[in-house]
């Protein structure tokens, strides 16, 4: 593999091959994206996906198990529950815990989503609120969404669960969520149900796997996993596919998680 760093064409071919290998429906079952894949209605998909992405750190089995618990407590009808839940129906969520995301956070998320669907025309519009089609990437989409999401009354402890690129956070989970909602390559993994953001504007979800593999391949020079690194690695991936750079998330993650590259 030592020739990879010196041969851009070979590296593109290598990553394209891994993208095709891992961007298949056979991997859905073991990935948090399996949660929104339980649904067909747009609003159910995006709400289920949002919760799954929000708690997507730690062991994948635990993430999937806990995300399923949230969906079950919503009677397997996320959109209906968000719009019409009663105070009594929120009580079971008080006991929910996933690492540092607890019942207080979960109930606030439900209330904020209700505000977004009742007053701001849903999650896609919330992300598009301060986003322009001319934006280079999704930074403004995330920061605008964060401002709106945290705009209702809540405890400050919940702020950390909506990452902020303006504070140089890599916003890995939100980048991943936007990949799920925006990319539409007809391969059955990502949903492609949002039209107000283009695939060319997405940013790589930078985690331990994608970061380590990117550095080993010479694609990323920065040692920190922050927003500056997200923009650096995404700009390099645009050299391989300017219209869909984040498709290489499948390759980089797969190499790290499944091949221990």
pTM: 0.95
**Mean pLDDT value across the chain:** 96
pLDDT of 4: 46
pLDDT of 208: 93
pLDDT of 6: 54
Q: Where are the domains of the chain?
A: 1-27+204-261, 31-198
pLDDT at 233 over 60: yes
| DSSP SS3 for 98 | strand
Q: What is the pLDDT of residues 27-50, one digit of tens each?
A: 999 999 999 999 999 999 999 999
């Amino acid at each position: 593999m030592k020739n990879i760093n010196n041969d851009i064409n070979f590296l593109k071919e290598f990553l394209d091959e891994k993208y095709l290998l891992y961007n298949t429906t056979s991997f859905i079952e073991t990935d948090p994206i399996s949660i929104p894949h339980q649904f067909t209605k747009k609003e159910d998909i995006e709400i289920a996906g949002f919760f799954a992405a929000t708690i997507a750190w730690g062991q994948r089995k635990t993430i999937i198990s806990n995300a399923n618990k949230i969906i079950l407590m919503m009677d397997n009808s996320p959109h209906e529950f968000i719009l019409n839940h009663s105070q009594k129906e929120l009580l079971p969520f008080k006991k929910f815990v996933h690492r540092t995301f607890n019942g207080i956070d979960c109930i606030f998320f439900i209330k904020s989503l209700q505000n977004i669907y009742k007053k701001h025309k849903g999650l896609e519009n919330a992300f598009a609120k301060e986003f322009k089609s001319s934006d280079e990437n999704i930074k403004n989409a995330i920061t605008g969404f964060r401002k709106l999401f945290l705009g209702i009354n809540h405890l400050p402890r919940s702020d950390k669960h909506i990452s902020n690129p303006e504070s140089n956070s890599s916003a890995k989970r939100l980048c991943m969520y936007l990949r799920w909602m925006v990319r539409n390559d007809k391969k059955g993994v990502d949903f492609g149900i949002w039209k107000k953001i283009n695939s060319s504007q997405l940013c790589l979800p930078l985690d331990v796997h994608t970061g380590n593999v990117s550095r080993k391949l010479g694609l990323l020079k920065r040692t920190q996993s922050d927003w500056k690194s997200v923009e650096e690695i995404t700009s390099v991936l645009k050299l391989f596919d300017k219209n869909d750079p984040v498709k290489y998330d499948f390759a980089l993650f797969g190499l790290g998680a499944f091949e221990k590259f």
